[in-house]
Amino acid sequence: MEDILASIKKVIAEEKGLRVPAPPVQQLDEAMLPQADEDEVLELNEPLAPPPDLGPPLMDEAVADTSRHALESLSAVAAAAPAPPPVNPLEELIRELLRPILKQWLDDHLPGIVDEHVKREITRITGRPL
């Protein structure tokens, strides 16, 4: 969950123009490089492509701030949440017994359920039955 929150914060920061600069490229000492002829050496002192122009931000700054604060409060609550209680051995046994039954039911029924919902949604969006 923390990875997702970090990704969302990064996207919001990029939209706001607070891009994190790329870490500096470590300069190699010539002693670290294998010996080669000058004709075989490829110099990479210049960037290969200019950075893309992202255009104006997609969100208003106030909306981004509101979203950022909401995500920060979610992150704080998630970090402060108590650890889950220890697992009851009986519950664990029941879960292990139900897992293959549930898997079989999902294998048998889930594709049909998803297909039906997709068809209904396509019909709703296009106005034409499939």
| Confidence (pLDDT) at 53 | 83
**Domain boundaries, given as residue ranges, for the chain:** 1-19+57-81, 88-130
To the nearest 10°, report the CA torsion of 63, 66, 72, 74. Answer: -100
Query: What gap in Å lies between CA 89 and CA 103, rounded to an integer?
Result: 21
- Looking at residue 129, its pLDDT comes to 81
Instruction: Determine the 3-state secondary structure of 86 from DSSP.
Output: coil
Containing H/E element for 129? Answer: none
Contact call for residues 33 and 40 (beta carbons, < 8 A): no
List, run by run, the mean pLDDT of 10-residue segments along the chain (130 residues).
78 65 59 63 71 82 90 90 85 94 95 93 87
